[in-house]
């Protein structure tokens, strides 16, 4: 399946993507994780992205679309993928349609994770990420690490993201409303959107999403 995951910052996209990609045996492609990996490796792409991310703004489309396209080609889009954090504005959604139609492919579903804003703020302020792997995600209250300050899965150091500061989170939410939400209507017009209520335990949300995908298939 070819799936896009959307939802505000902190909705649980990365958390759900890890389980959904494993259940569906498709690659999880997160543009946020790709940018963070480039930053930690000190690449030119990472240097170009960092200031935008730290300010809570979108990285320019010229950088983002090329990076996402390369990653999809590497994964071989024909075998399916789960996109997390891409597309994030109408230009990116149109570019993705172009990339897929050139390959004779289509999206199967767009999962919209719905979470009230006050919950999103709680989730982001307590989030701790693993330095070794962006897919190991913890929360000081909701899913604490058992090994105090380190990742239970791989032993990596846990850290708080630079862009999880309160003022940057407010900016990211504003950017979500103005730039990203319009893609939901764009995909509704293609009858692809499935809204998933994303409050509740992580595994309950995964079950809701899997149930919705089975009904779509
Ligand atoms: P990105 O990394 O994509 O960040 P985001 O969209 O803001 O989303 P987050 O990673 O903050 O949250 P999430 O929904 O994945 O939640 P998570 O699962 O971690 O992008 C970062 C930046 O990169 C952007 O601001 C931009 O600058 C740039 N960028 C990325 N893609 C781009 C693009 N396409 N174009 C341009 N720029 C781009 O969960 C959050 C917390 O909640 C965790 O602590 C988790 O443990 C907890 N949690 C999750 N589920 C539950 C649950 N059910 N109950 C309780 N707690 C839960
Ligand atoms: Zn880890």
**What is residue 217's predicted lDDT score, i.e. its pLDDT?**
75
**What is residue 12's predicted lDDT score, i.e. its pLDDT?**
97
Asked if 215 is an active-site residue, the reply is no
Is there a binding annotation on residue 58? yes
Domain-located, residue 173: no
Q: Count structural domains, the chain.
A: 1
Q: Mean pLDDT by 10-residue block, N- to C-terminus, for the chain (217 residues)?
A: 97 96 96 95 97 97 97 88 98 97 95 96 94 90 92 95 92 97 98 97 97 88
Asked if 2 is an active-site residue, the reply is no
Ligand nearest to the CA of 18: 1
35 lines ligand 1 (CB under 6 A): yes
Rounded to whole angstroms, the Cα distance separating 81 from 83 reads: 6
Domain-located, residue 207: yes
Among the listed residues 122, 131, 161, 165, the single catalytic one is 161
**What is residue 209's predicted lDDT score, i.e. its pLDDT?**
98
Asked if 50 is an active-site residue, the reply is no
- Domain with 33, as residue range(s), is 2-114+180-216
CATH code of the domain in which 55 resides: 3.40.50.300
Domain-located, residue 162: no
Domain-located, residue 148: no
Is there a binding annotation on residue 134? no
Domain-located, residue 126: no
Asked if 202 and 210 touch (Cβ cutoff 8 Å), the reply is no
Q: Classify residue 12 as exposed, middle or buried by CB count within 10 Å of its CB (0-12, 13-18, 19+).
A: buried
């Amino acid at each position: 399946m070819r799936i896009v995951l959307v939802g505000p910052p902190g909705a649980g996209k990365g958390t759900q993507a890890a389980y959904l990609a494993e259940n569906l045996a498709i690659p999880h492609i997160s543009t946020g994780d790709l940018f963070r990996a480039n930053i930690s490796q000190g690449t030119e792409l990472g240097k170009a992205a960092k200031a935008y991310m730290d300010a809570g703004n979108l990285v320019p489309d010229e950088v983002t679309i090329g990076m996402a396209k390369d990653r999809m080609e590497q994964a071989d889009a024909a075998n399916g993928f789960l996109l997390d954090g891409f597309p994030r504005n109408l230009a990116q959604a149109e570019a993705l349609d172009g990339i897929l139609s050139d390959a004779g492919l289509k999206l199967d579903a767009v999962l919209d994770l719905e979470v009230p804003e006050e919950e999103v703020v709680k989730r982001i302020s307590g989030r701790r990420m693993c330095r070794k792997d962006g897919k190991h995600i913890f929360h000081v209250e909701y899913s604490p690490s058992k090994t105090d300050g380190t990742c239970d899965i791989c032993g990596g150091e846990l850290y708080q993201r630079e862009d999880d500061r309160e003022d940057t989170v407010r900016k990211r939410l504003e950017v979500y409303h103005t730039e990203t939400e319009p893609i939901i209507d764009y995909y509704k017009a293609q009858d692809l959107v499935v809204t998933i209520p994303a409050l509740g335990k992580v595994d309950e949300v995964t079950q809701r999403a899997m149930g919705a995908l089975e009904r779509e298939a």
